[in-house]
Structure 1
Amino acid sequence: MADATGIGDADPLVEPLPGDPAAVVRIGDGETALVVADYHAGIEAGLRYERGVELESDADLRRIRLLGLLDRTDPDRLVVLGDLGHRVGGADGTEAEELDDLLAAVLDRVPVTLVPGNHDTGVGDRFAAESRFAVADRTDTRLGRVGFAHGHTWPSRDALGGEVLCIGHEHPAVRLEDSVGGGRKERAWLRGPLRSGPFAEHFGIDASDLAWTDPELVVFPAFNDRSGGTWVNVEGQGFLSPFLPDALVDSRTDAYLLDGTRLGPYRSV
């Protein structure tokens, strides 16, 4: 993914890791962050309660995968783009145990910044005593030239002021069909330019007063492969973020598979 994501760019700000729903992001002053979105710790307990679906917990596998990425990339910090936990209203039981085990292991390696999502109620309070665990003051933040948001609310003007805006929340996926009509779902990245008009309207200002820097949007796939998602190339599937798809330039917003395969404009996949 050229420019924002790094394929074809000698000095990328956001560089996805081939085969994984994670990226290394340059956040300035020589620092790098490993960035993931939608970890959804404890999702199996949520699925049991919400849908009556019984699944063995993948907590250990999720933790091992994330720790392996930290070891592989050696970042200065981990940034989570929201929904670190799954239960809305506060973690308990097996979700709390998974969060405790995860953060104990991660914080032993790097500090963590959580950009809170709609599922993260109480997570910040639970780990308030951890000096290496920080929660963004808002539902977004900006580190260097990169803005970070979960995506369930409108990003602030500060988060939009960088060269790239990274969000989660959507869990983007594509439906791929073979020649005999069979189909499969694949997690995907979305990347493309943002239009200023919807944001100016939201802030109640003229577009010329927005100090627009033509930021690119990078929508991260969900780290948790059990969390469902928005099928961006299926008619009738709506986006979850309040500024999508209105703020996208559809013809220039591409979908990419986790292995880096460029599928082209997401609407025509």
Structure 2
Amino acid sequence: MKILDDVEIVDNLPAIYIKSLNAIVIGDLHLGFEGIAAEQGVFIPKIQFEEEMEIMNKIIKEKKNEKIILLGDIKHEFSETTYHEFKEVRDFLNFLKANFKQVILIKGNHDNFIFYLTKKLKVELYDDLCIGNYFFSHGHKDIDLKSISAENIIIAHEHPAIALFDEIGGKEIVKCFLIGKVKEKNVIILPAFSSLSYGTEVNIVEEFLSPFLEKIKDKIDDFEAIGIDKDVGILRFGKIKNLPKR
């Protein structure tokens, strides 16, 4: 599904394809989540890595492309990498290198100590990056739009989702893309690639995680939310301001 002339959502998956760059873009993988949770006494079946690999295989099958851009938080732990997390990140990056000519990682706030692994695997690592008419950043830092010549801003970090409510008070969470315009620039916020991370319920949230989104929060109500569900497909929710708050 096209969301801009040059950008489309890949099937009903948490990924976009940029035609002019021949690139797939994803963000917020949070590999190693279950292992870190177990260290904190919360035991979750270790299924995320297999699920993310399955999604990546679907993306590769759907779109033939040269490069993949990871918009940060490929790992979950803030501090030094545990063995379980290291193995998942290493195996995932090796898989990407075997299937893409170019692998680019934009550093997120969880990606401390990732430099040693990316250097060893020859994966490109940036704090943020401008390619063609696109500016890529994880989203955990503010963005000065005046200093960016690119017309398209793409971030992750927020893990946007829509909260849906039924008549008896039940709630369902649907991951979504956010697409809008700020000062004549297109802004796209990606949902989390992680199957265990849903994040910010943008139709009811009072404060955004991203300082950039918090700065432009008066514009967010006019952003369009496009949900993704592996069973239902793509869901066009329309503008956030028209969605129920409760």
Normalised to the residue count of structure 1, the TM-score between the two structures is 0.81
Report what 2:45 is aligned to: 56
Cα drift, residue 160 of structure 1: 3.3
Distance 2:37 2:80 in 1: 16
Distance 2:27 2:188 in 1: 11
Give the CA RMSD over aligned residues: 2.0
1:256 aligns with 2:245: no
1:221 aligns with 2:211: no
Cα drift, residue 25 of structure 1: 1.3
Q: Structure 1: any 5+ residue segments left out of the alignment?
A: 7-11, 196-213
Cα drift, residue 179 of structure 1: 3.5
Q: Which runs of 4+ in 1 moved over 3 A?
A: 156-160
| Percent identical residues | 27
Distance 2:94 2:73 in 1: 18
Cα drift, residue 256 of structure 1: 1.1
Cα drift, residue 75 of structure 1: 1.3
Report what 2:209 is aligned to: 240
Is the contact made by 1:160 and 1:215 (CA closer than 8 Å) also made in structure 2? no
Cα drift, residue 220 of structure 1: 0.2
Report what 1:206 is aligned to: none
Note the alpha carbon deviations across 1:138-178, whole angstroms, 9 max, x for none: 2x111111111100002355883212111000000111112
**What SS does the aligned partner of 2:121 have?**
coil
Distance 1:159 1:141 in 2: 13
Note the alpha carbon deviations across 1:65-113, whole angstroms, 9 max, x for none: 2133123211111100110111112322111111111111110111210
Distance 1:235 1:70 in 2: 34
Note the alpha carbon deviations across 1:179-235, whole angstroms, 9 max, x for none: 44322011111111114xxxxxxxxxxxxxxxxxx1111000000021230111115
Is the contact made by 1:35 and 1:80 (CA closer than 8 Å) also made in structure 2? yes
Cα drift, residue 57 of structure 1: 1.1
Cα drift, residue 56 of structure 1: 1.2
Distance 1:80 1:145 in 2: 17
From the superposition, tell whether residues 91 and 67 of structure 1 become closer, same or farther in structure 2 (CA, over 3 Å).
farther
The one of 108, 119, 133 aligned to 1:128: 119
The one of 75, 78, 95 aligned to 2:68: 78
* Alignment: residue pair count: 236
The one of 7, 13, 26 aligned to 2:6: 13
Is the contact made by 1:40 and 1:86 (CA closer than 8 Å) also made in structure 2? yes
1:43 aligns with 2:33: yes
From the superposition, tell whether residues 232 and 129 of structure 1 become closer, same or farther in structure 2 (CA, over 3 Å).
same
Is the contact made by 2:178 and 2:190 (CA closer than 8 Å) also made in structure 1? yes
